[in-house]
Amino acid sequence: MKKVTREQWGAYPPKKGYSKNIDIKGLAVHYSAIAAPKNELEEIKQLQNIQKFHQVDRGWNDIGYSFLVGDSGNLYIGRGLGNRPASQGTNDGNKQYYSICWLGGVNDTPSSKALKTIKQLWKEIGGELKPHSSFKATNCPDNFLREWIVNIQSVVNNNNTEQLILVDPVKQDLEDIKDEIKHLKAEVKALRETWILKGLQAQ
């Protein structure tokens, strides 16, 4: 996964120093609720707009998320590791979970590259993988990602991260391919449901 620094995506500095995270229990998944960008330049533009919304309109210290990911698979650094996010909607949620926001809306489906990046970041951080809606009443990160989180945790036992790292690389590649196939099937299913819905609406 390609990591894009704050300097590379043109982030403004935080207004003050961050509060620090100590007792990390996992990673929270969000979506931006904005139409998915079509390329990296559009991803960066959406990042900048989100930071402006958080810092100017909401008056926050910085962009609220620890990390963000686009369909390119790029991992964009928000507040980063060690710093408390402002995205879960609860004090304990922000103290105990890092956050990642997928750049996409309700009518979009994350790419396999974006899902792979979320999975890789989760493996690095460890602990639980939770949707934003686990912390407060919200639609975020929408049904597709909520279902994906349930499915991916049934495949990957994050309590055995060291064992996953030590497995035969060929077997691990096969597991990754299986995951990609599952993601593609889910995307096809979501697209079919969208087409059916649009067909009904047209009638």
pLDDT tens digits, residue range 44-65? 999 999 999 999 999 999 999 9
**pLDDT for 19-42, tens place per residue?**
998 789 999 999 999 999 999 999
The chain-wide mean pLDDT, for the chain, equals 86
Lookup: tokens for 95: 């103290």
Q: Taking 70 as the threshold, does the pLDDT of residue 118 lie above it?
A: yes
How many angstroms separate the Cα of 16 from the Cα of each of 13, 59, 76, 127, 175?
A: 8, 12, 20, 29, 43
Domains within the chain, CATH numbers bracketed:
3-202 (3.40.80.10)
pLDDT per residue as tens digits for the range 176-197: 677 677 666 766 776 676 665 5
The residue whose two tokens read 């649009």 is 198
